[in-house]
Structure 1
Amino acid sequence: MKTTLKHKFILLLFIMISISAFSQKREDNLLGTIKQINAGVLNVGYAEAGPQNGPVILLLHGWPYDIHSFEKVVPLLVAKGHRVITPYLRGYGSTTFLSQDTQRNGQQAAIATDIVALMDALKIKKATIAGFDWGARTADIIAALWPDRVTALVSVSGYLIGSQQGNKAPLKPKDELLWWYQFYFATERGAQGYAANTKEFAKLIWKSASPGWNFDDATFNTAATAFENPDHVAIVIDNYRWRLGLSKGEKQYDEIEIKLAASPVITVPTVTIEGDANGAPHADPVKYASRFKGKYIHLTFTGGIGHNPPAEAPQQFAAAVLQAYQLSKK
């Protein structure tokens, strides 16, 4: 009997190891190899795929999502010869702070600076940068302030650069309603509520922001592991409080924020994207088109596409990224 139980245990252990190896292999096949590198104030976790000498594409996720939003996009870009880097933003996945003393700051300038620091650490002089939600805002900022680092830009929901001063102006009631979670996060109750119900909160946002996206539990659970990052809650709460002027940010980013408050134009080749069923707050594309002064194309993804186009329409999103890259060659 003891021998039988021992054999069963060994078999079970072998099966578990095999499943783990298969899962890692699957992730590697889709997103590339998961790596870590010190960059700026962070140790950044990122996926890398494609040839080292290929034109670089950076893919940036938003909240409450993670790098797996791009898992069906990456292989399409690699197939066209691109080197694709997909990092976890601060507060997500395996990206961690190098020092416990660093402020857990979620302001827009800090997140954009993180990505520039990552490019420096990886010795990437220039890249096509594509993103949605926080990732789109970050990509916009880099394109506006460091255009020499950007080959082309892809931004879901267009021009997302904001300022604390600009956010003081009240919106129409129906628009304020869409920002309910920002007001919730402004309270201590909201901070405690998000900490206690992070995954449930994220799933609610997924459903409301993309009402036509029938994602399964496996898709959500894969992404939700990124929210287990020890700094996730602090970064999210600070991000939304900063927008309302309830968090001061850090002085080292003051100069950048002054520039961003002036709503700088973006001159690099750009493709903006909007889903026809985006349930998250977003502006009419007509209102932000003038902020893009270079080669510019706007695309509306139809068929019930919501706030997360790379996951909901990966082939269309990959095509848009390749289109933006081609704009830079004309």
Structure 2
Amino acid sequence: MNPSIPLFYTRTPMLDIAYEAHGPTDGEVVILLHGFPYDPRGYDAIAPVLAARGYRVLVPYLRGYGPTRFIHAGVMRSGQQAALAKDLLDFMDALSIDRAALAGYDWGGRAACIVAALWPARVRCLVTGDGYNIQNIARSTQPRAPVTEHRLWYQFYFHTQRGVDGLTANRRELCELLWSLWSPSWAAGSGLYPDTAPSFDNPDFVEVVIHSYRHRFMYAEGDPALEALEQALAPQPPISVPSISLCGADDGVGPPSEVDDDVAHFNGFYQRRVLAGVGHNIPQEAPQATLAALFELLELTQAGEENRSR
């Protein structure tokens, strides 16, 4: 946590979600969502700029991170994609947010993509890290190219008890290794990592992370309460809201392909931008590019709304 940024909480059916807030309380809402293994510090160079332009900027800690807590011991510590999306929708409902602009990457990008796909009326626009982040779980067990499998070593590690024990005992060291592997050209990363690492001390971090990487490969059952949502995601629903995909050219876990394989999943305004010298932690490595994408979409949707009101 950054002690200079006020921390707030809101209760949802499953969580007490901790979040940081910037800007006027009556501003149009922008929600910024982090991934694994990151936290809201990824948006420290972004949120204040948006706030200075009059937006209400909310940056929540995902389930299993930082001060966010489950409200009942019996709630499944699920990390599945439906859980992340439901948390985002519940967060918006708890704060009476009818509609917001969303930006996210990794796990946060997945939550944002799902809400944009299934509840487009709630999403003004979307900036997504690495494109269409909705998992195709039915195809997850099909082997991929060896170089891709090599990059996913940590996921297979988490499928084992040794991986559970390793993440439990070495969570800070393991996550720091992932930072360096996934953002190999980001010189500032090692100096900024200590600001984020305490978020992994959350008591539910390990269980949520392990479930996330097991469920996506069908090696763990999901939360029964979320099965209907998972079924809605199985057909890979398209995203219709205005969207920009930001991809790090130096991403060590998911480098962008030459041809955009995700374009068919977007049926509204959509652009992909590959960012030279940027790895996986897109907003923290490339805050100006992230801001540019957000402002472009915010202006585009504002112009559209003004034209419709004439």
Give the structure-2-normalised TM-score: 0.94
Name structure 1 gaps, 5 residues minimum.
Answer: 1-19
CA offsets 1:66-108 (integer angstroms, 9 cap, x no match)? 0000011111111211100000000000000000111111100
Secondary structure of 1:24's counterpart equals coil
**CA distance in structure 1 between the aligned counterparts of 2:193 and 2:135, rounded to whole angstroms:** 29
Q: 1:217: Cα distance to partner?
A: 4.8
Residue 40 of structure 1 deviates from its aligned partner by: 2.2
Tell me if structure 2 keeps the 8 A contact 1:47–1:85. yes
Give secondary structure in 2 for the equivalent of 1:197: helix
Contact 1:163–1:257 under 8 Å retained in 2: no
Q: Deviations over 1:265-319 (max 9, x none)?
A: 00001011011211112553610011111111222222x1111111111122111
The answer to whether residue 203 in structure 2 is matched with residue 224 in structure 1 is no
Q: CA RMSD in A?
A: 1.4
- 1:50 corresponds, among 9, 20, 23, to 23
Give the C-alpha shift of residue 163 in structure 1. Answer: 3.2
Most deviating of 289-298 and 179-188: 289-298
Q: How many residues align?
A: 302
Pick from 54, 62, 65 the counterpart of residue 38 of structure 2.
65
The alpha-carbon deviation at position 52 of structure 1 amounts to 1.1
Deviates more, 1:217-226 or 1:43-52: 217-226
1:293 to 2:267 alignment: yes
Q: Equivalent residue for 2:10?
A: 37
Which amino acid in 2 is paired with 1:300? V
What SS class does the counterpart of residue 143 from structure 1 fall into?
helix
Identify if the C-alpha distance between structure 1 residues 116 and 282 changes in structure 2 by more than 3 Å, giving closer, same or farther.
Answer: farther
The unaligned stretches of length 5 or more in structure 2 are 305-310
Larger helix fraction of residues: 1
The percentage of counterpart residues that share the same residue type is 39
Larger Rg: 1
Partner of 2:90: 117
Deviation at 1:215?
2.4
Give per-residue Cα distances to partners, 1:163-189, cap 9 Å, x unaligned. Answer: 321212110111111111110000000
SS in 1 for 2:140: helix
> Partner amino acid for 1:148?
A
Structure-2 change in CA distance of 1:265 and 1:216 (3 Å): closer
Does 2:59 correspond to 1:86?
yes
Letter in 1 for 2:145: K
Matched with 1:328 is 301
Q: Distance in 2 between matches of 1:283 and 1:276?
A: 6
Match of 2:211 among 238, 241, 247: 238
Corresponding residue for residue 3 of structure 2: 24
Which residue, out of 126, 148, 170, partners 2:99?
126
Q: Within 2, Cα distance between the matches of 1:327 and 1:279?
A: 32
The answer as to whether partners of 1:40 and 1:118 remain within 8 angstroms in 2 is: no
Matched, 1:107 2:80: yes
Q: Which residue of 2 aligns with 1:306?
A: 279
Partner of 2:239: 266
Between 161-170 and 238-247, the greater mean CA deviation after superposition: 161-170
2-structure distance, mates of 1:252, 1:100 = 16
* CA distance in structure 2 between the partners assigned to 1:326 and 1:276 by the alignment: 26
CA 1:281–1:300 in 2, change beyond 3 Å: closer, same or farther? closer
Name the amino acid aligned to 2:73: Q
